[in-house]
A and B are shown apart, each in its own frame.
Chain A
C-alpha cells in the first residue's frame, strides 16, 4: 500500500514533529497552529489513520482530556531517578500554585512577576518557593521564571506574549493534575475518584471565605 492510499492529513508531519519531541498537543494551544492540529487529531477518522501510521514506528497516540501525546509501544514505562526527581519537583510546583490566592487553572494567563509579587507578600509562599530545588536562580522572580520556562518546555504552559511575559495554561496541564489525582495516600479513604469525563455533581461554594 502506498502512503497516498492512506489519505493521511496534511498536517501529519507537523503533528509527528511535536509529539515525537515528547510534547503534548493541547486544544487551547495557539503556537504553530496547535489548536488546528488538535482538531485534526480529534477527528476520529484521522485519529485512527494516524494511530496505525505512527504504530509502524512503534509510537502510540494517547488521548487525554483535550490533549494528545505519544507513548512507546512494546516499551513499558520505566522508573528512573530523573523521572522521580521531575515529578517530585512538579509536586512542589503544584503545591505552590495551590497555595496562591489566585489559583492557576487551565486557560488562565500567568505572569511570573505577579506570582513573584504574591510570594513576596506571603511568608508561607516565600518558604515554599525557597525550598523548591532550582539551581540556576537566586531571587523569587527568576525562580518563578524558571518554573514557567520548565512548564513551557514540557508543553504544559505556552509563552503567549513575550513582551509582557504572559504564559497561558494549556490543557496538557491537566495531565499533571491527573497524576496527582492518581496518587493514593495510604491509610486514607480514597478520594472520590472523579474524572473529568464523568464529573460528580458538586455543590459549589462560590464564596469560600
Chain B
C-alpha cells in the first residue's frame, strides 16, 4: 500500500482524541475501552491499524513506538536516550571521512544536518535528564527503585558527558578539513555548537550535584531510620530516658506547636460591636453566658417621649422584661415602690430618683397590656440623692395577686 504523509497526518488529525488517549494511557487499553472512551469509529480504527499507527496485541491497543517517540521528542519528555547522540556522532564522523577523501561538496550537507541535530538533541536530552531526575526524586515512592533510577541517571549523565567530549575532540581534530570547505553556514553551525556544548557541560555538572544531593538525602533518611529502630529498642526496654539524652533533646525543641503556644487571638474592635454583625455577636455571647442585663436594645423608638438623656446609658444595661417578671413574682410592693427599692446589679450602679421615675414610666408604656392598672393614685414623700424632700404622686400598679383579690 502506498502511504503518503498526507494520509498519515489526516488520519492522525481525525483520530486525535484516540491518539491522545493512547499516548496518555500507554498500556492496558482494550479495543472496546478505546472505542467507547474516544468515540472512535470502526472504520477509523481500521485505518489506524492499516497505517500501523496503532498495534493490536491480544485485545489491547498500543501506539506505534515511533509515534510515541515523535511526541516525546517534541514535548521533551520521556526517557533519556543518550545513545542517539553517539549515533549522530558516528554519522558526522562517517561524512567527514567521505569529505576528506573526495572533497566533494555533497558530503557537507549531511555533516551540517547531523551537527544541527546534535545541537538540538544534546540540549533536549539534558532537559529530559533534569526532568526525569526531579520527577524520580519527588514521585517515585519506592526508595530502592528511586535509588536505582538515580544511579541510572548518573550513568546516563556520564555517557552524555563523554559524548560531548568526543564531539569536541572530533570538531577540533577536523578543524582544518572543515574550514577548507569554506562553507559559511557550516562555520556558523560549528561555532554555535561549540558554545552550546560548553554550556551543556556546565549544566551536566550541576545535574551531577543534584543527583548526589538527592541520593545523599535518601541515604540520610535511611540512616536515621536505622537509628530510630535502635532508639525504639531502648524505649521498649524502658531505657529511653536513661541510656539516651532523649529528654534533653525534646526539652530543647522550640517549635511553638510542641510548647503549648496557642495561636494569638485578637479582640474585636469596639467599632465592630456597634455594627449589625457586632450586635448579633453580642446577643450570642449574652445568650451563651446568660447575661440578660447586657442585651442590646434594638428599638429605641419605644421611648416616645422626652426622657432623661442620661438614663439611656443605663437602659441598655437594664433588662426591663426581667424586672417586670420579678415584680410580678413578689406580692408586697406596687410597681413604683418595687422600682424605688429594687437593688439594681452592680453594672448598672445606683439610679437617681429621676432615673427611677423614668424607668417606671417607660415600663408603664412598654408593658401596658401585661400590667394591671388600679387607677388609684398614691402620694409619697421621698428624699432624693441631693437630700431634697419631694412629694410624688403615682398610679398604683399592684402585682398580680391584688388583681385576683379585686376580681374575686
CA distance A207 to B152 in the complex (A): 13
B341 CB-CB contact with A under 8 Å: no
B-facing mask of A97-111, CB < 8 A → 1, else 0?
111001101111110
B225, A97: Cβ atoms closer than 8 Å: yes
B231 CB-CB contact with A under 8 Å: yes
Q: A102-B142, A108-B141, A179-B253 are in contact. Are A204 and B229 (CB under 8 A)?
A: no
List the A side residues contacting B141 at CB < 8 Å: 102, 108-110
Partner pick for A107 among B139, B215, B228, B246, CB 8 A cutoff:
B139
Write the nearest CB–CB distance from A180 to chain B, whole angstroms.
5
Partner pick for B260 among A21, A82, A91, A154, CB 8 A cutoff:
A82
Q: In residues 101-132 of chain B, which contact A (Cβ within 8 Å)?
A: none
Partner pick for A105 among B143, B212, B228, B236, CB 8 A cutoff:
B143
B252 CB-CB contact with A under 8 Å: yes
Partner pick for B249 among A88, A98, A183, A204, CB 8 A cutoff:
A183
Q: A22-B263, A106-B217, A184-B245 are in contact. Are A177 and B224 (CB under 8 A)?
A: yes
B255, A62: Cβ atoms closer than 8 Å: yes
List the A side residues contacting B252 at CB < 8 Å: 77
B147 CB-CB contact with A under 8 Å: yes
B219 CB-CB contact with A under 8 Å: yes
CA distance A138 to B249 in the complex (A): 32
B-facing mask of A136-178, CB < 8 A → 1, else 0?
0000000000000000001000000000000000000011010
List the B side residues contacting A208 at CB < 8 Å: 144
B244 CB-CB contact with A under 8 Å: yes
Most chain B beta-carbon neighbours within 10 Å: one of A23, A72, A75, A179 = A179
B218 CB-CB contact with A under 8 Å: yes
A-facing mask of B143-182, CB < 8 A → 1, else 0?
1101110010000000000000000000000000000000
B257, A106: Cβ atoms closer than 8 Å: no
A177, B257: Cβ atoms closer than 8 Å: no
A2 CB-CB contact with B under 8 Å: no
Q: A105-B146, A183-B249, A204-B215 are in contact. Are A83 and B259 (CB under 8 A)?
A: yes
B10 CB-CB contact with A under 8 Å: no
Q: A28-B138, A186-B243, A200-B216 are in contact. Are A72 and B235 (CB under 8 A)?
A: no
B-facing mask of A39-77, CB < 8 A → 1, else 0?
000000000000000000101001000000111100101
Partner pick for B257 among A97, A98, A154, A196, CB 8 A cutoff:
A154
Interface of B is mostly: helix
CA distance A65 to B2 in the complex (A): 61
Q: A22-B261, A107-B139, A183-B244 are in contact. Are A204 and B221 (CB under 8 A)?
A: no
A62, B254: Cβ atoms closer than 8 Å: yes
Chain A interface residue count, CB cutoff 8 Å, equals 63
Partner pick for B261 among A28, A72, A97, A207, CB 8 A cutoff:
A72
B257, A22: Cβ atoms closer than 8 Å: yes
B-facing mask of A75-88, CB < 8 A → 1, else 0?
10111101110111
B244, A180: Cβ atoms closer than 8 Å: no
A34 CB-CB contact with B under 8 Å: no
B227 CB-CB contact with A under 8 Å: yes
List the B side residues contacting A80 at CB < 8 Å: 260
Most chain A beta-carbon neighbours within 10 Å: one of B137, B216, B243 = B216
Q: A79-B250, A107-B138, A184-B245 are in contact. Are A98 and B225 (CB under 8 A)?
A: yes
A72, B256: Cβ atoms closer than 8 Å: yes
List the A side residues contacting B218 at CB < 8 Å: 105
List the B side residues contacting A87 at CB < 8 Å: 246, 250, 253, 258
Q: A77-B252, A185-B244 are in contact. Are A103 and B222 (CB under 8 A)?
A: yes
CA distance A182 to B249 in the complex (A): 7
List the B side residues contacting A72 at CB < 8 Å: 254, 256, 259, 261
List the B side residues contacting A83 at CB < 8 Å: 250-251, 253, 258-260
Write the nearest CB–CB distance from A23 to chain B, whole angstroms.
7
Which single residue of chain B is at the shortest CB-CB distance from A110?
B141
A122 CB-CB contact with B under 8 Å: no
List the B side residues contacting A28 at CB < 8 Å: 138
14 contacts between A and B (CB under 8 A): A23-B257, A71-B254, A72-B254, A78-B260, A79-B251, A82-B260, A86-B258, A98-B228, A105-B222, A177-B220, A185-B234, A202-B215, A204-B215, A206-B151
Given contacts A71-B255, A82-B260, 20 further A-B contacts (CB under 8 A): A22-B263, A23-B257, A71-B256, A77-B253, A83-B251, A84-B247, A87-B246, A91-B228, A94-B228, A95-B228, A98-B228, A102-B144, A103-B143, A103-B222, A105-B146, A108-B141, A180-B227, A185-B234, A186-B245, A194-B220
